[in-house]
Structure 1
Amino acid sequence: MRTLPACEGRPNRFVTLFPAFRILFFVFFFTFTFPATYSQNREGDSLSITGLKFYKALVHLNSCRYDSALTGFDKVLSVYKTQKDTFHIFLCFTNLGLCYCGKSDIKQAEKYLQLATPLQKKLSGELTLMNLLKLKNQIAFQKKDYEEAINSSAEILKLLLKQKKDSLEIARNYIMLGYCYYLTNDFEKALTFYYDAEEYISKTFGKNYYLLGSVYTTMALIFYGKAEYEKALLFYSKALNILSGNYGKEYPGLGIIYNYIGLSYYSLKNYQLALSYMNKCRLIYEKNKSEQLGYNYDYLARTYQKLHNYAEAEKYFFKGIELFLKKQHKDIGNLSDLYLNLGDLYIESGDTCKGYKYYKKANFILKDKKKQYPVIVSKSFTRLGDYCCKKKQYKKALEFYQEALIAISENFKNKDYYTNPNDPEYISGKQFFSVLKNKASALLNYYFISGNKKDLEACLSTYELLMRALNQARIGFLSSGDKLFFTENYREIFINALHSAYLLYKITGNTGYKEKAFSIAGQGKAAVLLSYIHDAAAKISGNVPLSEREKERFLNQKTSAYKKYIYEEKLKASPDENKLNTYTSRLFYLEKSYDSLIAVFENKYPKYYKLKYDFTVPEISSVQKQLAADQALVEYTVADTAVYIFVCTQNRFEAMAICIDSSFKKKLAVYQSRFSTSQLQCQSAEDLKQFAEAAYSLYACLIGPIETVVKNKRLIIVPDDCLGTMSFDALLYRPACKNENYRDLSYLIKKYALSYYYSSALFSVSKRQNSMNHSLLAFAPDYSNYSSVDNTGFSDLHKRGVDLRPIRRTMDEIKNISGITDCDILSGEAATEENFKKNACSYGILHLAMHTVIDNENPLYSKLVFTPGADKKEDGLLNAYELYNMDIGSCLIVLSACNTGCGKLYRGEGTMSLARAFIYAGCPGIVMTLWTVDDNSGAALMRNFYSKLAVGMTKDEALRHAKLDFLARCDDTKAFPYFWAAYVSIGDSSPFVLKENRKWYYIAASFTVLMLVILFILFVISKRKKKVNVLNNE
């Protein structure tokens, strides 16, 4: 049974409406496939008695009365054989094959395919080829050989389009192609064909044609599978309108649409609306005595449970159980699933005894059913384990979790809970991860009771297996629902794994565990980042042609699909050896093709391959080699009850855990709140006191414990989670004294130069100077005509209320810089996106004094804003995803704009900001802002920063001294950290020599020459006057 992605927190089946949808698909498929089989016969065929019998058999086939159709075709076949009518013999063979497809008797269907094939070669012609391809298509579809089904459908479509005749057959093949891609989870390709089907049907048969109901339903299912629930609802609504318009509001097929709409609202946590639509479905199902009614009762019960209406939830669970019990031969799989769900209800409502009773009941009826229902059996043992964990019976829980692993593992049978399966070729995805996660957690809790080091070692080993499997899963294909599940759960997994490794280090003193904890911390930070790269950035970066990326995606998806088919077939009581051989040979071919493609990627596109597949975390020794003598790398990992700190210098490596409670995040919130524009007026004595208390408290937690290790070092901060958007500069290394003002506070910037990295892995690989070219290009767009620009992008920004008012001190800022270093300037009409793309790679330093638009929900669409309307080829809005596609060789990018470091916060990796996009474009060093900057203070800070760079300071030291100079010279109001702490240095901090601006030397030299000329002229004039005077005297 195929299931759609599960709704929140439910590891296996909350959406099991797929069987009903598949039945509808087959009915739809057969009802308009076969009429063409006879109607396209040779012109002039007479409807003899035999012909009428043949036609009658076709009618039976169209109506899915396969036995009657078989009898009819057998009778006419004998007549046609006597008449030696090769054409009709061929048609009988193909139609008999299709009958057996309808009866799911693939062996017989293949027999008739073998008989029909030589006849088609003899007859030739497109009509016979099309009929043969239809049979091939159905056999491949039944065998789940979707690649062959896709190929045959594509051939049929090609033949049909060649005829240039409007036909339902064309629509059918578009839909068939989309459906096959849907079944292999290639949602993007599926949508392409469904959009083609929609366009063709709408143009040919009208926008309300009944078939569009099926098209829109499947498109909605695809969007549901991608967790795009709002889009899914839009297409379900379209399907509902089409089907009700064609068949009326009592049409039984509307029930499935209502249920899917309910499930979409359930996923959006709108449980009242979900309930409304599920009840509409219930009324239709009850009226028509639908076989799907049991599923509907289950969904209703789960929705009532979410609304805490436990009485109604219990009622519908029992209704569903009653229906499944009445089914012939009992539906053991769904019945046991309902028992488990009912058990969940009782546990949640506080009746743990009843909950345990139904868990046991489900487990009992699944006894000896592991082969048929491996996932549900595993779920039943998992629930029993969860129950025991709640009772703190961890040993018993571990025994249940081990049984749960055995149930879904093909070759693993070891009941010793200290053991785990080896890396599995294919294990039922989410259930496997759920079991391992719960088992590892139980081992950790059991260790706290037993004190046995073996339990803690087994816990760490289980987490390591889980992380390897998750990394493997990210490389192979996973549906969006699966990715979402892993993303949501990975944080907890790596935190607990880190905790286990750290505990082992503390109790054993083994530094190997300390290094392992550091490695796990790095993996945790890479997890969401790599998921992000896989899903978004890697698709549009790395300079790999689109055709090559599509080929890699296709091979990944098909490889995982065939591994799944092999696994599912082996679980059957009597596996079909022919199917296994087909799947295995296909898998071999796919893996061989994939290996060849990856070899090409490694050689031709190393940047793409690294972005997408490099999960490695550098060893401590590698990090230490990269550090300068005066540097210290400080990496943080924030858990609920502790902050883990790893400190690395050239000759020391320390790890520690600092306990925290709710007050930590409260202090952080107070500290962060002082950097918003709304707080600029809050500079009273009480405000200063609150800020100082928060800033010192955070210092005491984050820097105080490592002070002796990092003394006199330049700090490289690798933040985590809520620390990712925090400026460490304004932390206080000692409490504020009474009557102390903002200027005199003991800011951390007064003791340390600070820079930041997104991860230690990035530090290890990106410490390099990209370019020896230290020329500077500055951009200063003009926004004075923003609101009047007739450009779609800018018009949209204006409608959204984005304020792009002119930045007052931009030109002052750039003129100041040009006075320090040789600088080319593109301002006003010249500050265009086109000029940026044309010139960016030619300069060592890029200074961008411009507005940014941050899209927190879709970080790839955050953008730098150039002069509105000045571009001819571009739109003037440089998106982050465009930066991923660029190769910028600059050694420093200065983003002197508002909020360039802001973006969507992904736990474990920092913000998805424009600064991050520049790093992936190849820039090792970035200076950016964490919040909206004041124009005047920004200009002053940048002047100071470039002055310090010019005398050879490192970037972090230059920024530190720029801030200290600003603090020393500004008035008391501007000493508030909002005005100077926004700028941070990310990445490589190495010093470089700025190109000296020789303009003033030339001016001075010219002035000197001019003065000499003037003096000479005056001398000559004076001399002449004297001579004249002498002559006059004479």
Structure 2
Amino acid sequence: MVAPKRWLSILSVNSLMFFNVSFPVLMLPNIVNGGEVIAQTDPNAEAERLFKQGFELLKQGTAESLREALVKWEKALLLFRKTDNLIGQAAVFLGIGSVYDRLGEKQLALNYYNQALPVYRQVRDKGGEATILNNIGSVYDNLGEKQLALNYYNQALPIFRELPDRGREATALNNIGGVYYSLGEKQLALNYYEQALLLRRQVEDKGGEAITLNNIGLIYDNLGEKQLALNYYNQALPIFRELPDRGREATALNNIGGVYYSLGEKQLALNYYEQALLLRRQVEDKGGEAITLNNIGRVYNDLGEKQKALNYYEQALPVFQQVGAPHWQAITLNNLGSVYYSLGEKQLALNYYEQALLLRRQVEDKGGEATTLNNLGTVYNSLGEKQLALNYYEQALSIYQQVEDKGKEAIALNNIGFVYDDLGEKQKALNYFEQALLIFRQVGDKSGEATTLNNIASVNDDLGEKQTALNYYEQALPISKQTGDLRLEATTLNNIGTVYNSLGEKQLALDRFEQALPTLQQVEDKVGEANTLYNIAKLNRDQGNLTKSLTFIEKSLKIIEDLRTKIVAQDLRTSYFATVQIYYQFYINLLMQLHKQNPNKGYDRKALAASERSRARSLLDILAESGADIKIGVDPQLLAQEKQLLQKLNTLDQARQLNTEGYNPDELKQQIETLSNQLQQLEVKIKQNSPRYANLKYPEPLTASKIQQQVIDKDTILLQYSLGEDRSYLWLVTPTEISSYELPKKSEIETLARQFREEIISLSPVPETGNKLSKILLSPVANKLGNKRLLIVGDGILQTIPFAALPLTSPPTPLLLREGGNSEEGGNFASTLVGGNEGGHFSYQLSVISYQLPVTSQISSTLVGGNEGGQNYQPLIVNHEIVTLPSASSISILREQVKGRTPAPKKVAVIADPVFADNDPRFQIASQPKKEIENNNLTRMKLTRSLEDFLGSSFNRLEGTRQEAEAILALVPDNLEQLSLDFDANLKTAINPDLSQYQIVHLATHGLLNETQPELSGLVLSLYDEKGKETPGFLQLNDIFNLEMPAELVVLSACETGIGEEIRGEGLVSLTRGFMYAGAKRVVVSLWSVEDNSTSELMEKYYQKMLEKGKNPVESMRETQLEMLSSEERKAPFYWASFVVQGEWK
């Protein structure tokens, strides 16, 4: 039973990305010389003329005019000083300070204001004194010194009242309101703004009136009173236009855009932002321009137009740098990181977050610093770097606690809890969740409270504390109803159902699932709906309602298939992909149970087809988790359209599911339907124009009948396995029959398979466990195999064992049993095989589900026996050619891909003996190699993580691969070969299109077949260049799928398989499918790393058979392995059984 867990977690906390701007207003007095009459020849007259010219230039407000004003006033100041005109000097100080203020040079402005203040006091000019006090306050306001600013404003205000000067009194009131707004005292701010508005209307100060209207709008905007805010902004806008004041008109337009953004009217918001941007560029308001660029970027991001969002953010960034606004620069960098994270570009996301973090620390923006730390934690968490994630989350938590941001403190606690949960440290997870719960309750965050109650319940459920879990879920349910969050309510119901099921309360469980289902359908939560349908199907199966169960699981899988290309968001991938294979395993098992009841209705064929679809789905999931960006084999224009549509669709779909504020539900639904239709139309185009890519992205696996028709020939038998938690299955397929068999559960097979591998790798000449494993895997079909070629489609750990080394077995003697006394159509039969073995009794149940006589055909075989301890070891390779496949459908796709292809003109390219260590003797420099790879480099990080699964920390040199390469190329004319050794055995060589000129590409280097984390599989090439500089050397899945390598054969001769506790069995599959997609007709790969000399010997024999005797790669491999099996020194399977051939055998 699957309960969705922690879908409610907030994985990142993004900084605000749109900004409303209020105005600190600078008021200049009318500058005259005390009313005195001055002769035209007097220097004062010239000074005053220069001053007035400067004042007119100041009013123009452009950067150029402000600089010209400075020139005028500097000249005027010299003249006023000559005549000891103190009032004139003070006026010039005020004017110059105002210019520097507008140019953003605040300290210079402060310097001139402070020169003016004592002069105005000396001449007892109260108006001038108050103006300067106001303007000094404005500078401190802009510098973030809010208390200092308030002090100066409060000195200016009573003087303006005493004069009286109602206009400037209004200015001081407006500015005091601005400080209180910044300090979060919104009601106080509103009081001051309303006093200012009344005065400005009395004195008919239109400009001031519009400014205060804007600021009142800003207050209501932040209080969530969007319509009131819109009313005030719309009063301010026509006044700014009438004056005209283009700069402030742009601010009003920007703010109106912000309101429409909040109301979900994204297109209207965009319209206002674009008007604002045009005006801000006209008046050369660089800071305002960058703010509006940022706002436009946010709209496009929310609309799913990620590339456009990036474009606007990237335009904003250098402008913020130019005007010296590191705070806004950091916000923009953070926003860029968030977009790249949503696109799966995690390296770029890390780079931008790191830059943002540095700036936020420089400007001491504690809240922003914590936000970016949290986001870094989220990226590392998604990469599986749990300890790094914890480090960043804990730093964020500490800051949120310092700044007393309770809401985000709770989020950080929640995130830390998730990491500990993933690490299996359940008690620590509970501790953090409980702290988060307490805070959510303190701040009255009902949604956060219900979410965290769900999370606490989930951990208790994992700990087996079912009743405790139920208690927490039951607490969460009424709270989730209070919030009106239907998705949260439905998820809680589903989770309650899973606990009731565990407690054996099947009907109560079913009731909860059936309550959850219509709500999930209503909010169109497709992933949640599929999960609940699965849960209902499982309950019906458990109650014996198999047909009803089938209906529900097929509905669930229909949703899954519809979503197969639409899950691109990073925070949805893991939870979604983890469940897909569970659904398919259940479906296969259910179909086979139905087949036992009704053997003649073709359920076994449907199960085989489901197994094929599961494998196609699994590969897609691996590629998605690895972040593979496949560009080869598809029209770039169609690919760009697909990405753009998916980004839009995913963004809008998430907004709908999460009921995100700021989106109109009806508009969202219409937009999603339109985008879905466009995506379907595009899918048709891609299938027509780019079949290679379409076969990968939109797979249509073969049915059982098509497998018989398109894959199997008369000399070939397909053995396809599916491992399940309760039972496993085997299908035998020939052109004329399909037989299916029930096998033991996965854990039993995995135990034997592990032991079998371990015995082989320990150089056992006769792996004892092989007999037990063979009885399970081969005994059921032993009497049908003859000497046919065997196609093996393994599952899980079976993809990592050498079937060639399994001992031949005799078929079981059927013991027919009737189950339960039933006599249904076709009957139910079972046979029990009891076999003796050294060390004890071994038995298992085998159900023979259908049985037909095969049409036999002979393949010549060589019988080679080894006698050890009285046992005659005859491995499967003795009687059979063996080919392994990722899936039966893969060979059909491969044949279509290579149909009509002309073989490459050259023969063999070999890459061997790369440089892995900084102390390699091949370095020609005296100094130690430099470490120049970035700390957060993901390629190196992935390589390190993958290596951990192989119980190692470094790569040994493969010196034997040099001899291997030389022996192979000795068989090839010089003009038809390519050899890349040492530093040349690098990533650049491996991805070079020149390799497409060779029929065989031989890669003799460490290959990591990571079965625990298949997305970390790849090949390790030279990690250093000749100068000792570290270079990228990990050929990852993304690289492999983007190769152009139309080879007849690719050989990976030094691979190792890393098997962890959880075996997905997909490392080998993903790597070989990558080379097949790149164009390889066949891939030879090793399942473990074999001693250098024996590998060289095997490869030399192998290539001799292909290049000198003209035999095909499959036939050549079998003959080579038999030859080594016959030798005294190399007969142990360790030496010869490692190598398997995948792909085309013809």
Under a length normalisation based on structure 2, what TM-score does the superposition of the two structures give?
Answer: 0.67
C-alpha distance in 2 between matches for 1:74 and 1:840: 75
C-alpha distance in 2 between matches for 1:484 and 1:268: 15
1:933 aligns with 2:1045: no
Query: Which residue of the partner structure matches residue 967 of structure 2?
Result: 814
- Contact between 2:1084 and 2:1139, CA under 8 Å: does it hold in 1? yes
- Report the CA distance between 1:358 and its aligned residue: 7.4
- Report the CA distance between 1:40 and its aligned residue: 11
Q: Which one of the candidate residues 587, 605, 608 is aligned to 1:515? A: 605
- Contact between 1:470 and 1:486, CA under 8 Å: does it hold in 2? no
Q: Which one of the candidate residues 1121, 1131, 1138 is aligned to 1:975? A: 1131
Query: Which residue of the partner structure matches residue 421 of structure 1?
Result: none
1:399-458 CA distances to partner (integer Å, 9 max, x unpaired)? 332112123321xxxxxxxxxxxxxxx6336543442232111011011xxxxxxx2122
Query: Which residue of the partner structure matches residue 520 of structure 2?
Result: 408
Distance 1:470 1:78, change over 3 A: same
- Report the CA distance between 1:466 and its aligned residue: 1.9
C-alpha distance in 1 between matches for 2:184 and 2:370: 21
C-alpha distance in 2 between matches for 1:742 and 1:774: 52
1:464 aligns with 2:554: yes
Query: Which residue of the partner structure matches residue 438 of structure 1?
Result: 535
Q: Secondary structure at the match of 1:217?
A: helix
- Contact between 2:771 and 2:807, CA under 8 Å: does it hold in 1? yes
Q: Which one of the candidate residues 182, 205, 214 is aligned to 1:62? A: 182
What amino acid is aligned across from residue 737 of structure 2 in structure 1?
R
Query: Which residue of the partner structure matches residue 727 of structure 2?
Result: 642
C-alpha distance in 1 between matches for 2:1071 and 2:27: 60
Q: Which one of the candidate residues 777, 780, 799 is aligned to 1:702? A: 777
- Report the CA distance between 1:702 and its aligned residue: 1.5
Distance 1:776 1:637, change over 3 A: same
Count how many residue pairs are aligned between Structure 1 and Structure 2.
889
Query: Which residue of the partner structure matches residue 166 of structure 1?
Result: 324
What amino acid is aligned across from residue 806 of structure 1 in structure 2?
E
Q: Secondary structure at the match of 2:1130?
A: helix
1:962 aligns with 2:1082: no
Larger mean Cα displacement after TM superposition, 860-869 or 332-341: 332-341
1:718 aligns with 2:815: no
Distance 1:548 1:920, change over 3 A: same
- Contact between 1:638 and 1:720, CA under 8 Å: does it hold in 2? yes
What amino acid is aligned across from residue 839 of structure 1 in structure 2?
D
What amino acid is aligned across from residue 11 of structure 1 in structure 2?
K
Query: Which residue of the partner structure matches residue 264 of structure 1?
Result: 419
Distance 1:221 1:838, change over 3 A: closer
Distance 1:562 1:13, change over 3 A: closer
Q: What do you get for the CA RMSD once the two structures are aligned?
A: 4.9
Query: Which residue of the partner structure matches residue 921 of structure 1?
Result: 1078
Q: Which one of the candidate residues 877, 886, 891 is aligned to 1:749? A: 877
Distance 1:498 1:218, change over 3 A: same
- Contact between 2:584 and 2:614, CA under 8 Å: does it hold in 1? yes
Query: Which residue of the partner structure matches residue 826 of structure 1?
Result: 979
- Report the CA distance between 1:841 and its aligned residue: 0.6
Distance 1:16 1:859, change over 3 A: closer
What amino acid is aligned across from residue 265 of structure 1 in structure 2?
Y
Distance 1:728 1:249, change over 3 A: same
C-alpha distance in 2 between matches for 1:125 and 1:110: 19
1:495 aligns with 2:585: yes
- Contact between 2:914 and 2:957, CA under 8 Å: does it hold in 1? yes
Q: Which one of the candidate residues 613, 627, 646 is aligned to 1:556? A: 646
- Report the CA distance between 1:518 and its aligned residue: 1.1
1:53 aligns with 2:173: yes
Q: Secondary structure at the match of 1:749?
A: helix
Residue pairs, 1:1001-1020, within 5 angstroms: none
- Report the CA distance between 1:228 and its aligned residue: 4.6
C-alpha distance in 2 between matches for 1:877 and 1:519: 39
What amino acid is aligned across from residue 437 of structure 1 in structure 2?
Y
Residue pairs, 1:296-695, within 5 angstroms: 334=449, 338=453, 352=467, 365=478, 369=481, 372-383=484-495, 385-390=497-502, 392-410=504-522, 427-428=524-525, 431-447=528-544, 455-477=545-567, 479-536=569-626, 538-542=628-632, 552-553=642-643, 555-566=645-656, 579-584=664-669, 586-587=671-672, 590=675, 606-614=691-699, 616-660=701-745, 663-676=748-761, 679-680=762-763, 682=764, 688=766, 691-692=767-768, 694-695=769-770
Distance 1:233 1:792, change over 3 A: same
- Contact between 1:902 and 1:912, CA under 8 Å: does it hold in 2? no
C-alpha distance in 2 between matches for 1:771 and 1:626: 22
Q: Which one of the candidate residues 752, 756, 760 is aligned to 2:888? A: 760
Distance 1:911 1:183, change over 3 A: closer
What amino acid is aligned across from residue 967 of structure 1 in structure 2?
L
Q: Secondary structure at the match of 1:409?
A: helix
- Report the CA distance between 1:503 and its aligned residue: 1.8
- Report the CA distance between 1:478 and its aligned residue: 5.2
C-alpha distance in 2 between matches for 1:883 and 1:357: 50
Over the matched positions of the two proteins, sequence identity in percent amounts to 19
Q: Which one of the candidate residues 789, 794, 807 is aligned to 1:732? A: 807
Distance 1:106 1:873, change over 3 A: same
Query: Which residue of the partner structure matches residue 892 of structure 1?
Result: 1049
Query: Which residue of the partner structure matches residue 373 of structure 2?
Result: 216
What amino acid is aligned across from residue 744 of structure 2 in structure 1?
C
What amino acid is aligned across from residue 504 of structure 1 in structure 2?
L
Query: Which residue of the partner structure matches residue 294 of structure 1?
Result: 438
What amino acid is aligned across from residue 1019 of structure 2 in structure 1?
K
1:137 aligns with 2:258: yes
1:162-188 CA distances to partner (integer Å, 9 max, x unpaired)? 483223662475278469859989885
- Contact between 1:370 and 1:407, CA under 8 Å: does it hold in 2? no
- Contact between 2:21 and 2:255, CA under 8 Å: does it hold in 1? no
Query: Which residue of the partner structure matches residue 41 of structure 2?
Result: none
- Report the CA distance between 1:350 and its aligned residue: 6.7
C-alpha distance in 2 between matches for 1:109 and 1:165: 29
Distance 1:532 1:207, change over 3 A: farther
- Report the CA distance between 1:842 and its aligned residue: 0.7
- Contact between 2:1008 and 2:1019, CA under 8 Å: does it hold in 1? yes
- Report the CA distance between 1:272 and its aligned residue: 6.1
What amino acid is aligned across from residue 401 of structure 1 in structure 2?
F
C-alpha distance in 2 between matches for 1:907 and 1:537: 18
- Contact between 1:225 and 1:479, CA under 8 Å: does it hold in 2? no
1:268-320 CA distances to partner (integer Å, 9 max, x unpaired)? 334566577679xx5xxxxxxxxx65357xxxxxxxxxxxxxxxxxxxxxxx7
What amino acid is aligned across from residue 633 of structure 1 in structure 2?
L
- Contact between 1:862 and 1:913, CA under 8 Å: does it hold in 2? no
- Contact between 2:912 and 2:965, CA under 8 Å: does it hold in 1? no
Structure 2 stretches lacking a partner, 5+ long:
29-58, 62-94, 99-130, 135-167, 271-293, 299-308, 811-836, 838-864, 934-939, 945-951
C-alpha distance in 2 between matches for 1:180 and 1:936: 51
Q: Secondary structure at the match of 2:1083?
A: strand
Higher relative contact order (CA 8 A, sep 6+): 2
Q: Secondary structure at the match of 1:55?
A: helix
Structure 1 stretches lacking a partner, 5+ long:
1-7, 283-291, 297-319, 411-425, 448-454, 991-1034
